[in-house]
Amino acid sequence: MIQFNLLPDVKLELVKAQRLQRVMTVVSVLASLAAIALVVVLFSASQIQKKHINDLNADIAKKTAQLNSDKQINKILTVQNQLNSLTQLHASKPAASRLFGYLNQVTPADVNISSFTVDFSTHTMTITGGAGALSSVNKYVDTLKFTEYTVGNSKSKSKAFNGVVLTSFSVSSNNTSTVSAVSYTITTNYDPTIFDISKEVSLIVPQQTTTRSTTEQPTNLFVAQPAAKAGGN
């Protein structure tokens, strides 16, 4: 079968141009639709993000206002203030570990302690115990009165205790022995410097007093309180 193309070349070029035009139109429309869709998506995302940011800013402003209304917020939340507070608290903490060393230094060898209380806020002490003789208790009181202290390498001396008072004492005689048992209670104030954790303190105990720190084999400092005996006829 033989076919003849009777269309002139100009007509063929026109058909090709029209076909290309339709393809370009379709491509242009699709590209435009895609661009419009992209713009819509970006705009929506922008609006959503803007709303989210506004919501976050509103929440931040609300929470900030609540925190600012608390007058103690700087002390509670600021890390630097917390660190400063820890340093201050540590510096103001009494050196309670020095207590037993002080008691060994100032307590005469023949005096025992059955109860001891210290109040670091009022700088007071209460000592209760026993001794073999009332003279030993008086020696204890005098030792506390005349004990001094120095700080570091300073030569300056200060009273370690003041207001030392023998608030009560009792003497019980043993019928089978000439030895008397004395119970006592002493109250005293102390200079807070002797428990200052930032200072190196040394007690100076009167030399004429024989205390546990100067005897070779000191007896026990703390003893249990004697149990109360029931009375009888």
CATH of domain 96-214: 3.30.1360.100
In terms of pTM, does the model score above 0.85? no
Distance (Å, whole) CA 14 – CA 19: 9
Q: In what order do the strands lie in the sheet with 180-190?
A: 111-119, 124-131, 180-190, 161-173
Residue from 126, 113, 142, 125 nearest 210 by CA: 142
* Non-local CB neighbours of 145 within 8 Å, separated by 6+ positions: 161, 164
pLDDT tens across the length of the chain (233 residues)? 665 555 566 676 777 888 888 888 989 999 999 999 999 999 888 889 888 898 999 999 888 888 778 777 766 666 666 667 776 766 678 888 899 999 999 998 889 999 999 999 999 999 999 998 889 999 999 999 999 999 999 889 999 999 999 999 998 865 444 445 899 999 999 999 999 988 899 999 987 656 655 554 455 666 766 554 444 44
Instruction: State the pLDDT at residue 71.
Output: 75
How is residue 98 annotated by DSSP? G
